[in-house]
Amino acid sequence: MKRAFIINCVAVVGAMVMLCGCLGPRFDLRGNSTLHPVGALETGRIKPEWLKPPAESFRLGPGDRIDIELFGASGKRESTFVCPDGKIYFDVLQGLDVCDLTLQETKERLERELSTFYKHAQVTVTLREVRSKCIWVLGRLERPGIYPLTGPTTVIQAISQAGGLFSSRFGGTTEELADLNHSFLVRGNEILPVNFQKLLRNGDMTQNVYLKPDDFLYLPSSLSKEVYILGAVNSPRPLGFVDDMTLATAMAKAQGVMPGACLSQIAVVRGSLADPKIAIVDFTAIVTGKQPDVRLEPHDIVYVPYSPYRTLERYTRMITDTFVRTVAVNEGGRAASSKFTGVGISNPIQ
Protein backbone atom coordinates (compact mmCIF):
# COMPACT_ATOMS: atom_id res chain seq x y z
CA MET A 1 0.00 0.00 0.00
CA LYS A 2 2.75 2.42 0.93
CA ARG A 3 4.64 1.79 -2.32
CA ALA A 4 1.47 2.17 -4.39
CA PHE A 5 0.83 5.47 -2.65
CA ILE A 6 4.34 6.69 -3.42
CA ILE A 7 4.08 5.65 -7.08
CA ASN A 8 0.81 7.52 -7.41
CA CYS A 9 2.39 10.54 -5.75
CA VAL A 10 5.04 10.65 -8.47
CA ALA A 11 2.45 11.55 -11.09
CA VAL A 12 0.59 13.90 -8.74
CA VAL A 13 3.67 15.83 -7.68
CA GLY A 14 4.89 15.97 -11.28
CA ALA A 15 1.57 17.42 -12.39
CA MET A 16 1.73 20.01 -9.60
CA VAL A 17 5.20 21.03 -10.72
CA MET A 18 4.07 21.58 -14.30
CA LEU A 19 0.94 23.46 -13.26
CA CYS A 20 2.31 25.62 -10.48
CA GLY A 21 5.89 26.02 -11.64
CA CYS A 22 7.33 25.78 -8.11
CA LEU A 23 7.18 23.78 -4.91
CA GLY A 24 8.47 26.38 -2.49
CA PRO A 25 12.11 26.14 -1.37
CA ARG A 26 14.10 23.78 -3.55
CA PHE A 27 17.02 21.59 -2.66
CA ASP A 28 19.79 22.88 -4.93
CA LEU A 29 22.42 20.21 -5.54
CA ARG A 30 24.98 22.82 -6.56
CA GLY A 31 25.30 24.03 -3.01
CA ASN A 32 24.57 20.85 -1.10
CA SER A 33 27.08 18.65 0.68
CA THR A 34 25.45 15.46 -0.62
CA LEU A 35 26.96 16.05 -4.07
CA HIS A 36 29.87 13.65 -3.76
CA PRO A 37 32.87 13.63 -6.12
CA VAL A 38 33.71 10.11 -7.28
CA GLY A 39 37.20 10.62 -8.61
CA ALA A 40 37.86 6.89 -8.38
CA LEU A 41 36.09 6.43 -11.70
CA GLU A 42 39.01 8.00 -13.50
CA THR A 43 41.37 5.38 -12.08
CA GLY A 44 40.29 3.08 -14.89
CA ARG A 45 43.62 3.99 -16.45
CA ILE A 46 44.62 3.87 -20.08
CA LYS A 47 46.45 0.60 -20.62
CA PRO A 48 49.92 0.95 -22.19
CA GLU A 49 49.04 -1.51 -24.98
CA TRP A 50 46.18 0.74 -26.10
CA LEU A 51 48.74 3.39 -27.03
CA LYS A 52 50.68 1.09 -29.34
CA PRO A 53 49.74 0.50 -33.00
CA PRO A 54 48.41 -3.00 -33.60
CA ALA A 55 51.19 -5.40 -34.47
CA GLU A 56 49.02 -7.45 -36.84
CA SER A 57 48.64 -6.59 -40.50
CA PHE A 58 45.24 -5.99 -42.03
CA ARG A 59 43.23 -9.18 -42.49
CA LEU A 60 40.57 -9.64 -45.13
CA GLY A 61 36.90 -10.14 -44.37
CA PRO A 62 33.55 -10.30 -46.18
CA GLY A 63 32.86 -7.20 -48.28
CA ASP A 64 36.49 -6.17 -48.80
CA ARG A 65 37.48 -5.48 -52.41
CA ILE A 66 40.87 -6.45 -53.78
CA ASP A 67 42.59 -6.17 -57.16
CA ILE A 68 44.34 -9.34 -58.35
CA GLU A 69 46.76 -9.40 -61.27
CA LEU A 70 48.11 -12.66 -62.69
CA PHE A 71 51.38 -12.37 -64.59
CA GLY A 72 52.38 -14.72 -67.42
CA ALA A 73 50.35 -16.47 -70.11
CA SER A 74 46.97 -15.35 -68.78
CA GLY A 75 47.88 -11.78 -67.88
CA LYS A 76 44.52 -11.48 -66.20
CA ARG A 77 43.64 -8.56 -63.93
CA GLU A 78 40.42 -8.48 -61.97
CA SER A 79 38.74 -6.62 -59.11
CA THR A 80 36.82 -8.93 -56.81
CA PHE A 81 35.03 -8.87 -53.46
CA VAL A 82 35.42 -11.25 -50.55
CA CYS A 83 32.04 -12.99 -50.48
CA PRO A 84 29.95 -13.51 -47.34
CA ASP A 85 31.35 -17.05 -47.09
CA GLY A 86 34.87 -15.60 -46.94
CA LYS A 87 35.84 -16.80 -50.43
CA ILE A 88 37.05 -15.04 -53.57
CA TYR A 89 36.47 -16.24 -57.11
CA PHE A 90 39.30 -15.53 -59.58
CA ASP A 91 40.20 -16.99 -62.96
CA VAL A 92 39.82 -20.79 -62.89
CA LEU A 93 39.57 -21.07 -59.12
CA GLN A 94 36.19 -22.26 -57.86
CA GLY A 95 36.28 -20.30 -54.60
CA LEU A 96 39.32 -19.66 -52.44
CA ASP A 97 38.89 -19.04 -48.72
CA VAL A 98 40.81 -15.87 -47.77
CA CYS A 99 38.90 -14.80 -44.67
CA ASP A 100 41.28 -13.57 -41.93
CA LEU A 101 44.29 -13.77 -44.27
CA THR A 102 46.71 -10.87 -44.74
CA LEU A 103 47.35 -9.60 -48.26
CA GLN A 104 50.67 -11.42 -48.33
CA GLU A 105 49.04 -14.67 -47.19
CA THR A 106 46.34 -14.22 -49.81
CA LYS A 107 48.98 -13.72 -52.51
CA GLU A 108 50.81 -16.89 -51.43
CA ARG A 109 47.60 -18.94 -51.34
CA LEU A 110 46.57 -17.71 -54.79
CA GLU A 111 49.97 -18.58 -56.28
CA ARG A 112 49.89 -22.03 -54.67
CA GLU A 113 46.42 -22.84 -56.01
CA LEU A 114 47.04 -21.32 -59.46
CA SER A 115 50.27 -23.30 -59.88
CA THR A 116 48.09 -26.31 -60.63
CA PHE A 117 47.00 -24.56 -63.82
CA TYR A 118 49.96 -22.26 -64.66
CA LYS A 119 53.72 -22.61 -64.51
CA HIS A 120 55.39 -20.20 -62.14
CA ALA A 121 52.13 -18.44 -61.28
CA GLN A 122 52.83 -14.98 -59.92
CA VAL A 123 50.17 -12.58 -58.66
CA THR A 124 49.88 -9.21 -56.98
CA VAL A 125 47.10 -8.43 -54.52
CA THR A 126 46.09 -4.84 -53.79
CA LEU A 127 43.51 -3.73 -51.25
CA ARG A 128 40.99 -1.33 -52.86
CA GLU A 129 38.10 -1.05 -50.43
CA VAL A 130 37.46 -2.06 -46.83
CA ARG A 131 33.99 -3.01 -45.67
CA SER A 132 34.66 -5.75 -43.14
CA LYS A 133 36.29 -3.53 -40.53
CA CYS A 134 35.03 -0.12 -39.57
CA ILE A 135 34.84 2.40 -36.75
CA TRP A 136 31.93 4.58 -35.71
CA VAL A 137 32.85 8.27 -35.44
CA LEU A 138 29.67 10.14 -34.59
CA GLY A 139 28.45 13.31 -32.96
CA ARG A 140 29.32 16.98 -33.35
CA LEU A 141 31.86 16.52 -36.14
CA GLU A 142 32.11 18.01 -39.61
CA ARG A 143 31.59 14.62 -41.31
CA PRO A 144 30.29 12.08 -38.77
CA GLY A 145 29.88 8.58 -40.08
CA ILE A 146 31.05 4.98 -40.23
CA TYR A 147 34.62 4.81 -41.53
CA PRO A 148 36.70 1.86 -42.79
CA LEU A 149 39.61 0.89 -40.60
CA THR A 150 42.38 0.23 -43.11
CA GLY A 151 45.38 0.65 -40.84
CA PRO A 152 46.56 1.88 -37.42
CA THR A 153 44.27 4.77 -36.42
CA THR A 154 44.22 6.80 -33.20
CA VAL A 155 41.34 8.75 -31.69
CA ILE A 156 42.75 12.03 -33.00
CA GLN A 157 43.27 10.56 -36.48
CA ALA A 158 39.68 9.29 -36.50
CA ILE A 159 38.34 12.70 -35.49
CA SER A 160 40.47 14.31 -38.22
CA GLN A 161 39.17 11.79 -40.75
CA ALA A 162 35.66 12.91 -39.80
CA GLY A 163 36.60 16.53 -40.51
CA GLY A 164 37.41 17.55 -36.95
CA LEU A 165 35.09 19.03 -34.35
CA PHE A 166 32.12 20.90 -35.76
CA SER A 167 32.48 24.65 -35.31
CA SER A 168 30.14 27.61 -35.37
CA ARG A 169 31.31 30.41 -37.63
CA PHE A 170 28.64 33.00 -36.92
CA GLY A 171 29.59 36.52 -35.94
CA GLY A 172 33.12 36.21 -37.24
CA THR A 173 34.16 33.77 -34.50
CA THR A 174 34.84 30.07 -34.48
CA GLU A 175 33.57 28.02 -31.57
CA GLU A 176 33.82 24.26 -31.24
CA LEU A 177 30.44 22.79 -30.41
CA ALA A 178 31.35 19.33 -29.08
CA ASP A 179 30.71 18.47 -25.44
CA LEU A 180 33.99 16.85 -24.41
CA ASN A 181 32.78 16.20 -20.86
CA HIS A 182 30.25 13.67 -22.13
CA SER A 183 32.23 12.23 -25.05
CA PHE A 184 33.10 8.55 -24.88
CA LEU A 185 34.74 5.57 -26.61
CA VAL A 186 33.13 2.12 -26.45
CA ARG A 187 34.91 -1.10 -27.37
CA GLY A 188 32.71 -4.17 -27.22
CA ASN A 189 31.25 -4.22 -23.71
CA GLU A 190 33.95 -1.93 -22.34
CA ILE A 191 33.97 1.84 -22.02
CA LEU A 192 37.55 3.00 -22.46
CA PRO A 193 38.46 5.71 -19.91
CA VAL A 194 39.60 8.31 -22.45
CA ASN A 195 39.54 11.85 -21.04
CA PHE A 196 38.59 13.93 -24.08
CA GLN A 197 39.17 17.23 -22.30
CA LYS A 198 42.77 16.26 -21.62
CA LEU A 199 43.28 14.88 -25.11
CA LEU A 200 41.72 17.60 -27.26
CA ARG A 201 42.12 20.66 -25.04
CA ASN A 202 45.45 19.95 -23.33
CA GLY A 203 47.11 17.79 -25.97
CA ASP A 204 47.63 14.90 -23.55
CA MET A 205 48.78 12.09 -25.85
CA THR A 206 48.47 9.52 -23.06
CA GLN A 207 44.75 9.58 -23.92
CA ASN A 208 45.25 9.06 -27.68
CA VAL A 209 44.51 5.34 -27.93
CA TYR A 210 44.57 3.27 -31.11
CA LEU A 211 41.19 2.15 -32.33
CA LYS A 212 40.04 -1.37 -33.14
CA PRO A 213 37.34 -2.63 -35.50
CA ASP A 214 33.80 -1.71 -34.36
CA ASP A 215 35.01 0.87 -31.82
CA PHE A 216 32.31 3.47 -31.20
CA LEU A 217 33.51 7.07 -30.76
CA TYR A 218 30.91 9.70 -29.88
CA LEU A 219 31.25 13.44 -29.23
CA PRO A 220 27.85 14.97 -28.39
CA SER A 221 26.78 18.53 -29.02
CA SER A 222 27.50 21.13 -26.37
CA LEU A 223 24.33 22.94 -27.47
CA SER A 224 22.13 20.02 -26.42
CA LYS A 225 20.34 20.63 -23.12
CA GLU A 226 18.94 17.33 -22.03
CA VAL A 227 18.44 15.43 -18.80
CA TYR A 228 18.65 11.65 -19.01
CA ILE A 229 16.35 9.60 -16.80
CA LEU A 230 17.25 5.91 -16.71
CA GLY A 231 16.70 2.76 -14.71
CA ALA A 232 13.43 1.57 -13.18
CA VAL A 233 11.12 4.05 -14.90
CA ASN A 234 8.42 3.29 -17.45
CA SER A 235 9.95 5.50 -20.14
CA PRO A 236 13.77 5.75 -19.77
CA ARG A 237 14.96 8.43 -22.20
CA PRO A 238 16.49 11.90 -22.64
CA LEU A 239 14.25 14.79 -21.65
CA GLY A 240 14.48 18.28 -23.10
CA PHE A 241 15.62 20.58 -20.31
CA VAL A 242 13.35 23.44 -19.29
CA ASP A 243 13.97 26.22 -16.79
CA ASP A 244 13.38 25.21 -13.17
CA MET A 245 13.26 21.52 -14.07
CA THR A 246 13.08 19.35 -10.97
CA LEU A 247 13.39 15.68 -10.10
CA ALA A 248 9.61 15.41 -9.75
CA THR A 249 9.15 16.90 -13.22
CA ALA A 250 11.59 14.38 -14.71
CA MET A 251 9.90 11.47 -12.93
CA ALA A 252 6.50 12.54 -14.25
CA LYS A 253 7.82 12.86 -17.81
CA ALA A 254 9.27 9.35 -17.49
CA GLN A 255 5.70 8.15 -16.82
CA GLY A 256 6.36 6.99 -13.29
CA VAL A 257 8.38 4.12 -11.89
CA MET A 258 8.32 0.36 -12.26
CA PRO A 259 7.25 -2.02 -9.47
CA GLY A 260 10.10 -2.68 -7.09
CA ALA A 261 11.93 0.60 -7.73
CA CYS A 262 14.04 1.84 -4.83
CA LEU A 263 12.79 5.41 -4.50
CA SER A 264 14.86 6.22 -1.43
CA GLN A 265 18.16 6.07 -3.32
CA ILE A 266 17.59 7.82 -6.64
CA ALA A 267 20.88 9.14 -7.99
CA VAL A 268 21.62 12.41 -9.75
CA VAL A 269 24.99 12.30 -11.54
CA ARG A 270 26.49 15.61 -12.65
CA GLY A 271 29.72 16.66 -14.33
CA SER A 272 32.00 14.94 -16.82
CA LEU A 273 32.01 11.19 -17.39
CA ALA A 274 35.70 11.15 -16.48
CA ASP A 275 35.14 12.97 -13.16
CA PRO A 276 31.48 12.65 -12.16
CA LYS A 277 29.77 13.79 -8.98
CA ILE A 278 26.76 12.03 -7.50
CA ALA A 279 23.94 12.93 -5.12
CA ILE A 280 21.64 10.33 -3.53
CA VAL A 281 18.09 11.64 -3.21
CA ASP A 282 15.23 10.18 -1.14
CA PHE A 283 12.31 10.69 -3.50
CA THR A 284 9.93 9.11 -0.99
CA ALA A 285 10.67 12.00 1.36
CA ILE A 286 10.05 14.49 -1.46
CA VAL A 287 6.63 13.16 -2.47
CA THR A 288 5.53 12.95 1.16
CA GLY A 289 6.58 16.55 1.80
CA LYS A 290 9.42 15.77 4.21
CA GLN A 291 12.10 17.18 1.89
CA PRO A 292 12.02 19.86 -0.81
CA ASP A 293 12.26 18.91 -4.46
CA VAL A 294 15.62 18.72 -6.27
CA ARG A 295 16.52 21.17 -9.02
CA LEU A 296 18.17 19.62 -12.08
CA GLU A 297 20.66 21.04 -14.57
CA PRO A 298 21.30 20.31 -18.26
CA HIS A 299 23.25 17.06 -18.81
CA ASP A 300 22.26 15.61 -15.41
CA ILE A 301 21.75 11.84 -15.36
CA VAL A 302 18.89 10.70 -13.11
CA TYR A 303 18.93 7.01 -12.23
CA VAL A 304 16.17 5.13 -10.44
CA PRO A 305 17.57 1.85 -9.01
CA TYR A 306 15.80 -1.44 -8.42
CA SER A 307 17.62 -2.04 -5.15
CA PRO A 308 19.87 -0.12 -2.74
CA TYR A 309 23.42 0.49 -3.91
CA ARG A 310 26.34 -1.22 -2.21
CA THR A 311 29.17 1.20 -2.83
CA LEU A 312 28.97 4.75 -4.16
CA GLU A 313 31.79 4.24 -6.66
CA ARG A 314 30.25 1.08 -8.13
CA TYR A 315 26.80 2.70 -8.25
CA THR A 316 28.17 5.70 -10.13
CA ARG A 317 30.10 3.52 -12.58
CA MET A 318 27.00 1.46 -13.33
CA ILE A 319 25.00 4.65 -13.98
CA THR A 320 27.56 6.18 -16.34
CA ASP A 321 27.90 2.82 -18.15
CA THR A 322 24.11 2.68 -18.60
CA PHE A 323 24.11 6.26 -19.89
CA VAL A 324 26.86 5.49 -22.43
CA ARG A 325 25.10 2.35 -23.66
CA THR A 326 21.84 4.26 -24.05
CA VAL A 327 23.44 7.00 -26.12
CA ALA A 328 25.54 4.55 -28.16
CA VAL A 329 22.54 2.39 -29.08
CA ASN A 330 20.45 5.38 -30.12
CA GLU A 331 23.14 7.28 -32.03
CA GLY A 332 24.47 4.12 -33.68
CA GLY A 333 20.96 3.07 -34.67
CA ARG A 334 20.27 6.44 -36.28
CA ALA A 335 23.57 6.32 -38.17
CA ALA A 336 22.82 2.83 -39.49
CA SER A 337 19.17 3.40 -40.45
CA SER A 338 16.98 6.45 -41.00
CA LYS A 339 14.02 4.38 -39.78
CA PHE A 340 15.47 3.82 -36.32
CA THR A 341 13.20 5.40 -33.69
CA GLY A 342 15.36 5.06 -30.59
CA VAL A 343 15.15 3.00 -27.42
CA GLY A 344 15.36 3.46 -23.69
CA ILE A 345 17.53 1.23 -21.52
CA SER A 346 16.71 -0.04 -18.07
CA ASN A 347 19.52 -1.75 -16.17
CA PRO A 348 18.69 -3.59 -12.96
CA ILE A 349 22.26 -4.67 -12.26
CA GLN A 350 23.81 -3.20 -9.15
Q: What is the pLDDT of residues 195-205, one digit of tens each?
A: 999 999 999 99
Q: What is the pLDDT of residues 287-304, one digit of tens each?
A: 999 989 989 999 999 999
Phi and psi, residue 43, nearest 5°? -80, 0
Is residue 345 domain-resident?
A: no
Is the distance from CB of 230 to CB of 301 less than 8 angstroms?
A: yes
Of 15-19, 133-137, 164-168, which gets the smallest average pLDDT? 15-19
The reply to whether 52 falls in a domain is no
Please report which confidence band the pLDDT of residue 9 belongs to, taking 50, 70 and 90 as the band edges: very low
pLDDT number for residue 176: 63
SS3 category, 209? coil
Instruction: Tell me, yes or no, whether 344 lies in a domain.
Output: no
The Cα–Cα gap between 265 and 252 comes to 17
Whole-model pTM: value is 0.75
Confidence of residue 261 (pLDDT cuts 50, 70, 90): very high
Q: How far apart are CA 157 and CA 231, in angstroms?
A: 35
Provide the domain count of the chain: 3
Nearest to 137 by CA among 177, 167, 175, 165: 165
Domain span including residue 176: 133-219
What's the CATH number where 263 sits?
3.10.560.10
Q: Which residues pair with 268 in a beta bridge?
A: 279, 302
Examine the domain organization and report whether 230 and 286 are in the same domain. Answer: yes
Q: What is the pLDDT of residue 335?
A: 87
Cα–Cα dist 96/91, whole Å: 11
